[in-house]
Amino acid sequence: MKKTHAILAALVVLALVPIGCSLQQDDDEQAIIDLLNSSGYTDESNDRSYGSEDSTLAGDSCGPGTDNPQRPPFVRFRRYIPGGGVIRTINIQIPAYPGYPDTTALATISAEINGELRTMFDTTGNPLQVWRKPFRDEAVRHVYLTRSKDGWRIRRLTPLEFRTVDAPYTLRIRELKVHAASWRRQDTFRIHSGDTMLAKHDLPRFVPFDTVSVWVAVESNGDSCWTFLHHGRPSWPLRWRRAYTKIAAHQFRGTWLVGGEQGQYPQVRPSGHDAIGWHSLWADTTEPYVSAAWALPYIVAEPSQELPEE
């Protein structure tokens, strides 16, 4: 009888172990989701950082009629995204990789973005014509996390890489370089792949009122394109869009002054580096929408300040 009781007790213990592990993993997954949704490095504002609500002017300040092959022709455009137009999902793998401890996790953040590109490039008509092209973009980011006694922490993340679903031709960003006036020459930030894992201290970091130069190279086997910089601000407008200058067929350069807007430092702000097909912007609805972008958080802080926490 004693032997039977021992066997039953052992079976009860074995039955409880998987349940306990499952509950712990559920708790860990929820904690990770909460962290990723609230962190300035990974929250939903990053999903919109290529300017989905941005309607600022692109093109030279001279307006219509400007003829400069290094600057985009006059156009006003915005990506309109209705309520519910961004579907965001987070998948979590614990441990992060086979053989890793259970205190590591790999999260994949995916966003499906459905909206309408609205452009106005011809000012001769009355009323002015606004062309509307539906679009469906998707974006993916990977985040590596570890757990300590203080909870889960973000250790590395990739850029958020956007692409147009079922695009008629390939358009992608293949290199991003960033250099700030406050850095030494050898400190230029550079990545060649949207799969590049970056620690927080690897991210571009600027001081208030820094002058920043950015170079973007794209690859396309179809239409030509123009690229645009979207960078974050703590006050209205929360997104600011600037057109890059074309320095070669598929190479672009831009410069901006990092604002010293009111707010506490250090700050994490989102940036987007956005390539859009020529006919997406300067053609009617018979031409398709094609776009590709990398979104990357950057840090604004005084030299003596620590990196901002999640």
Q: pLDDT digits over 17-49, tens only?
A: 455 556 677 899 999 999 999 999 999 878 776
Name the residue with higher pLDDT: 7 or 97.
97
Mean local confidence (pLDDT), 201-215: 94
**β-bridge partners, 190:** 177
* 141 pLDDT tier (thresholds 50, 70, 90): very high
Q: Total domain count for the chain? A: 1
Mean local confidence (pLDDT), 226-240: 74
Q: How do strand 104-120 and strand 86-93 relate by DSSP bridges?
A: antiparallel
Mean local confidence (pLDDT), 231-243: 70
Q: Residue 141 domain-assigned?
A: yes
Nearest to 73 by CA among 224, 299, 203: 224
Q: Residue 310 domain-assigned?
A: no
Mean local confidence (pLDDT), 258-284: 86
Q: Residue 273 domain-assigned?
A: yes
Nearest to 238 by CA among 215, 207, 270: 270
CB atoms within 10 A of CB 186: 5
Q: Is the dihedral of CA 63, 65, 69, 75 positive or negative?
A: positive
pLDDT in tens, 149-175: 999 999 999 999 999 999 999 999 999
CB atoms within 10 A of CB 307: 13
**β-bridge partners, 173:** 218
**pLDDT at residue 63 is higher than 90:** no
Mean local confidence (pLDDT), 256-264: 74
**pLDDT at residue 264 is higher than 70:** yes
* pLDDT at site 38: 94
Mean local confidence (pLDDT), 64-88: 83
Task: Please report where in the chains the tokens 């980011």 appear, as a residue.
Answer: 141
Mean local confidence (pLDDT), 179-205: 93
**pLDDT at residue 7 is higher than 90:** no
259-263, 289-293, 295-299: range with lowest mean pLDDT = 259-263
**pLDDT at residue 180 is higher than 70:** yes
* 298 pLDDT tier (thresholds 50, 70, 90): very high
* 67 pLDDT tier (thresholds 50, 70, 90): low
* 13 pLDDT tier (thresholds 50, 70, 90): very low
Sequence-separated contacts (24+) of 278-285 with Cβ below 8 Å: 278/223, 278/224, 278/225, 278/226, 279/223, 280/117, 280/119, 280/133, 280/223, 281/72, 281/75, 281/77, 281/119, 281/121, 281/226, 282/73, 282/75, 282/119, 282/121, 283/131, 284/131, 285/131, 285/132, 285/133
**pLDDT at residue 60 is higher than 60:** no
32-36, 113-117, 190-194, 255-259: range with lowest mean pLDDT = 255-259
Nearest to 102 by CA among 29, 47, 162: 29
In CATH, what number is assigned to the domain containing residue 94? 2.60.40.10
d(CA 231, CA 267): 13
Q: Residue 305 domain-assigned?
A: no
Q: Residue 306 domain-assigned?
A: no
d(CA 115, CA 118): 10
Residue range(s) defining the domain that contains residue 45: 2-300
d(CA 110, CA 218): 22
Q: Residue 23 domain-assigned?
A: yes
Q: Residue 308 domain-assigned?
A: no
d(CA 135, CA 275): 14
pTM, to two decimals: 0.86
Residue 235's SS3 state is coil
Q: Residue 63 domain-assigned?
A: yes
Name the residue with higher pLDDT: 295 or 231.
295
Most confident of the following: 75-89, 167-181, 229-243: 167-181
Q: How do strand 291-300 and strand 205-206 relate by DSSP bridges?
A: parallel
Nearest to 217 by CA among 254, 161, 176, 178: 176
Task: Please report where in the chains the tokens 């695009």 appear, as a residue.
Answer: 167
How long is the chain?
Answer: 310
**pLDDT at residue 92 is higher than 60:** yes
